[in-house]
Amino acid sequence: MGQVDFGQILISLAVLLFSLSIHESAHAWAADRLGDSTGRYLGRVSLNPLVHIDLIGTVLFPLLQAITGIPLIGWAKPVPVNPNNLNDPKRDQIFIAAAGPASNVIAGVVFLVIVRVMIGAGGMQLFPHPILTPMFELCRIGMLVNFFLAVFNLIPIPPLDGSWILYGFLPPNLSHVFDQFRPYGFLVLLALMYSGALSVMLAPVTVFLYSLLGL
């Protein structure tokens, strides 16, 4: 294993925590708008990371991934949704699930614009600057993490958001079959991560974003 850059790990974990807070807050906000205020009552419509932290998914698992070099993907406490409060549970679940990845895309675009402006303003001379260097790195990682989270969560494997979006479009007979698969979804995700398949899936995202930056 090469030398571990603890500074970069701390920046990555801070960005991930912020990005997951955006993601879960968007779920709670969407559910509240569609009639279920459970998340709002629990204080989940908030960017305060303390209300979203899951010790395993938000701290330990991403830390292990950052040290070992596996793609920095984690999770926060899921926002509880009571379908009985929704007007059209199956349809509304699609919008609630999509709100999370959509919020990360928006955040990723904001970070992308900031990075592009910084590169355009100072070029490669930004990198040795004692103040701009960490700012640039934070925004670069913020861009990558948010787009990674958006793409990762759109994979239609339970319990990811993509599975709920797919579920909303399935006819009743296939929905029942899909429900039988849910208990095994997390094992499939672990296999994707540790087999390297997830890295292969996310690599085009990195290439595309860097092409937009001219890097």
* Secondary structure, 3-state, 187-204: HHHHHHHHHCHHHHHHHH
Going residue by residue through the chain (215 aa), what tens digit of pLDDT does each one get?
A: 456 667 777 888 889 899 999 999 999 999 999 999 999 999 999 999 999 998 888 888 787 777 776 655 678 999 999 999 999 999 999 999 999 999 999 999 999 999 998 887 765 555 556 567 788 889 999 999 999 999 999 999 999 999 999 999 999 889 989 999 999 998 998 888 878 888 888 889 989 998 988 77
CB atoms within 10 A of CB 140: 22
Q: Is the pTM of this model over 0.85?
A: yes
Nearest CA among 103, 105, 131, 100 for reference residue 118: 131
Q: How far apart are the first and last CA of the chain?
A: 27
Q: How far apart are CA 192 and CA 212, in angstroms?
A: 27
